[in-house]
Amino acid sequence: MSDAQVTLQDLKQKMAEFVRERDWEQFHTPKNISMSIAIEAAELMEHFQWLTVEQSKTLDGDALADIGEELADIVIYSLSMANYLQLDLAQTVLAKMEKNIRKYPADKVQGKSHKYTYYQDKERSES
């Protein structure tokens, strides 16, 4: 399997095999996996904790490698969660993107960073 042709399903299968080969299914429950995702996200945040915004945009190769590993851990646990819950992660992501497109219409949010409720509240107050 060449790196350029790896699909999300390939990654899910590889994760399932990794877990199965170690008899870790007993530990990979939704509760434990969700906690692991949160822990890995916190480890990712640690890399940025004391950086300025500008410093966070100009990371050296070692920092990028370390950050990539934390991000990979988050994705790996997410794949494991999708396996356990039998979710089609690709379809779930596409559905969520469609929802985000509706919540954040480009013509209303261009260059803004408010939560979607801000735009809903604004529409209501203008009506």
* 21-55: pLDDT as tens digits: 999 999 999 999 999 999 999 999 999 999 999 99
Query: According to the model, what pLDDT value does residue 3 have?
Result: 64
Residues 28 and 67 in one domain: yes
Residues 6 and 64 in one domain: yes
Residues 62 and 111 in one domain: no
First to last CA, the chain: 56
Could you report the per-residue pLDDT of 76-111, keeping only the tens digit for each? 999 999 999 999 999 999 999 999 999 999 998 899
Structural domain count of the chain? 2
Which single residue is written with the structure tokens 């997410």?
Answer: 78
Residue (of 73, 85, 72, 76) closest to 30 by Cα position: 85
| Chain-centre distance for alpha carbon 34 | 12
CA distance to 20, 48, 59, per residue, from 104 (Å): 40, 27, 30
Which residue range(s) make up the domain with 75? 1-87
Residues 64 and 37 in one domain: yes
Could you report the per-residue pLDDT of 16-30, keeping only the tens digit for each? 999 999 999 999 999
